Amino acid sequence: MPEQRAAMWLMKSEPEEFSIADLERVGREPWTGVRNYQARNFMRDGMALDDPVLFYHSNCATPGIAGIARVASAPYPDPTQFDPDSDYFDPAARADAPRWLLVDIAFVRRLRRVIALEELRAAADRLGDLALLRRGNRLSVLPVSASQFKTILAMEKHAP
DNA sequence: GCCAACGTTGGC
DNA sequence: GCCAACGTTGGC
């Protein structure tokens, strides 16, 4: 039996660093700077071209889902790990054995309104075990099931 | 391999 | 700015 692939994702970004508006402006962005192995593994092993992504704004006044993106490349080495001038430089990374892989993310659309974390918590019974809502979770790349994705997008149409 | 110390994330 | 939660580091 083939292994089940998550197929849909949530990716966090601090809007002061890179917001959904920034993604809309550039159209496509290499998702540099992920330095957590579990998050890397999701990008390296789990993602496929065109997988849908919920674009989440973190560490801001109203944390929540702000837009939709999609996976726009196969995984490849994060170039910032080799750049001594980058905040994400990793002296242990070797060109012939890159430690950090990333994918490109492409803009799809903004949501009509931000679906706040608070609202997602309130809908926890309908969402089931959403990785984002697990206690103490800090992962910046998370799997989302198809039914969770659908439930979240349906929330967009209603007032919070 | 254990685990204390430390650094980071991210909501509040 | 606070601090809980968690991942990583490094001495032993």
| pTM listed for this prediction | 0.93
Domain count, chain A: 1
Q: How far is CA A54 from CA A63, A70, A94, in A?
A: 13, 8, 32
Nearest nucleotide, C1' to the C-alpha of A59? B10
A24 touches strand B (CB under 7 A): no
CB A53 within 8 Å of CB A69 = yes
Residue range(s) defining the domain that contains residue A14: 8-150
A41 touches strand C (CB under 7 A): no
Nearest nucleotide, C1' to the C-alpha of A142? B9
Domain annotation covers residue A97? yes
State yes or no: pLDDT of A71 exceeds 90: yes
Domain annotation covers residue A118? yes
How many Cα neighbours within 13 Å face the side chain of A118?
5
Report pLDDT digits (tens) over A80-106: 999 988 989 998 888 888 999 999 999
